[in-house]
Amino acid sequence: MTLQNRVVVITGATGGLGSQLTRELAIRGAQLALLGRDAARLEALTASLSVPKERILSCVVDLLDPSETRRAAQDIAARFGRIEILLHLVGGWTGGKTLVEASADDLTFMLNQHVWTSFHVVQAFIPYLVKNGWGRVVMVSSPYAARPRAKSGPYAIAKAGQEALLLTLSQELQGTGVTANLVQVKTIDLQREKVNLPTPQNAFWSTPEELSAAILYLLSEEAGSVNGARLPLYGSY
């Protein structure tokens, strides 16, 4: 498997999973476009990598704004000449309230983070991937999308919407050489608690390294016939 010189867009690059995948892809020689809203956090991430300047581009962009998102795609394509991989790793969570208690703002926040950002990146980036005749799209969802729990309604509704969006995309990409897949995770175990402080609750969490390994497979040549998959990384719970 080689990702050498692949042009990879990572949204949510400064997040827990985004920064892990950024490091993995940098080691593998990919050309990186790192997206986020906070210039200082992007700068710190870029500075922490040993990647020559010509192989990396930071884009400060609010993915809730469709024209800013399109402009970022144009800038990345102009800089690297193409866009081949889209890792959409923007997250966010709200919960702890029943549907009766939740506010409209709670639902709007979740739909913004999971559905609207996904819609905007698909509209802005997919035409570039299709133009290559080769591409990979990966988003990260949750078991709650299909099996919601009490007091997680806005999150579950939004993740279900994001899954429907990605699965629709996978159908529309058939025959283009571009695949679109989902990885499902219960909780990203940033502190490696399931190893250091194991409990029945954290047994089904996934470390960033476990998630990276699954996503790197989906980006590979070898996964070219995997399209529209929802890869569950949470065991049973």
Ligand X SMILES: NC(=O)c1ccc[n+]([C@@H]2O[C@H](COP(=O)([O-])OP(=O)(O)OC[C@H]3O[C@@H](n4cnc5c(N)ncnc54)[C@H](OP(=O)(O)O)[C@@H]3O)[C@@H](O)[C@H]2O)c1
Q: Does 148 bind ligand X (CB under 6 A)?
A: no
Q: Does 209 bind ligand X (CB under 6 A)?
A: no
CB of 40 to ligand X, least distance (A): 9
Q: Could you give phi then psi for residue 205, rounded to 5 degrees?
A: -75, 165
Among 7, 18, 87, 125, binds ligand X (CB under 6 A): 18
With the CA atoms of 66, 70, 72 and 78 taken in that order, what torsion angle do they form, in degrees rounded to the nearest 10? 180
Closest CA to 61 of 18, 22, 13: 13
Among 30, 63, 77, 102, binds ligand X (CB under 6 A): 63
Q: What is the edge-to-edge ordering of all strands in the sheet holding 230-232?
A: 56-60, 31-36, 7-11, 85-88, 135-141, 178-184, 230-232
Beta pairing, strands 85-88 & 56-60: unpaired
Among 49, 79, 91, 107, binds ligand X (CB under 6 A): 91
Among 66, 92, 95, 228, binds ligand X (CB under 6 A): 92
CB of 156 to ligand X, least distance (A): 11
What's the sign of the alpha-carbon dihedral 218, 212, 119, 66?
Answer: negative
Among 73, 185, 218, 233, binds ligand X (CB under 6 A): 185
- Interface residues with ligand X (CB under 6 A) are 12, 14-18, 36-38, 41, 61-64, 89-92, 113, 117, 140, 142, 185, 187-188
